[in-house]
Amino acid sequence: MSNDAFVSSTREIRAPLPHVRSLAIRLETVMSWIWAPAQVADPAASRDLPNGTRQLIVRDGDKLRTRVAEQEERRVVIEAVYQPRNTDVPGRELRYELNLEVGAGTTMATLSLHFAEPPSENPGEIRRWTRNLRQCLDRLDELAAGEVNEAQGAEGDA
């Protein structure tokens, strides 16, 4: 895989770095922010593979494979594979790199996307994948905000 990112996007996440990092390394949450909600909403099957990969088979038979390949305190690398059931449709191998920086009660998250075989670099394709990254970060922000709100609610109940 190329070391150069095809696209990247940055967003301030409304949660402390430890909360964001925990969401970035747990496979059950990674699946929900890397893949679009419609893709993972109602899987036909799910299983964990021996190499630490989670595989979902979605309703149309396509396979989504995801694994946390590397993790450090402020960096998480996620490998994702889209394998369509229809062999005429090309699959994709994606490598997401999430870099985290501490803010004042927040986390600055930069998500970069690398491809095994980069798509064309036409402006429309670049905009589409940049939008995809922004949506991933939006979903990560929503998950983090929900986790922080739950923790604050539990403290208030105590």
Where are the chain's structural domains?
A: 7-157
In the predicted model, is pLDDT for residue 1 greater than 60? no
Determine the Cα–Cα distance for residues 124 and 38; give it in Å rounded to an integer: 22
pTM: 0.86
Determine the Cα–Cα distance for residues 98 and 71; give it in Å rounded to an integer: 9
Predicted confidence at residue 90, as pLDDT, reads 87
Helix (H, G, I), strand (E, B) or coil at 12: strand
CATH superfamily name and code, 7-157: START domain (3.30.530.20)
Least confident among 22-26, 63-67, 122-126 = 122-126
Give the pLDDT band of residue 59 (cuts 50, 70, 90): confident
- 116-120 contacts, C-beta under 8 A, 24 or more apart: 116/1, 116/92, 117/93, 118/2, 118/6, 119/6
Give the pLDDT band of residue 155 (cuts 50, 70, 90): low
Give the pLDDT band of residue 152 (cuts 50, 70, 90): low
Determine the Cα–Cα distance for residues 59 and 57; give it in Å rounded to an integer: 7
Predicted confidence at residue 116, as pLDDT, reads 74
Give the pLDDT band of residue 40 (cuts 50, 70, 90): confident
Predicted confidence at residue 125, as pLDDT, reads 84
Q: Which residues contact 116 (CB under 8 A, 6 or more apart)?
A: 1, 92, 93, 94, 95
Task: Say if residues 156 and 32 touch (Cβ distance below 8 Å).
Answer: no
In the predicted model, is pLDDT for residue 109 greater than 80? yes
79 CB neighbour count, 10 Å cutoff: 19
Predicted confidence at residue 20, as pLDDT, reads 94
The mean predicted confidence, pLDDT, of the chain is 89
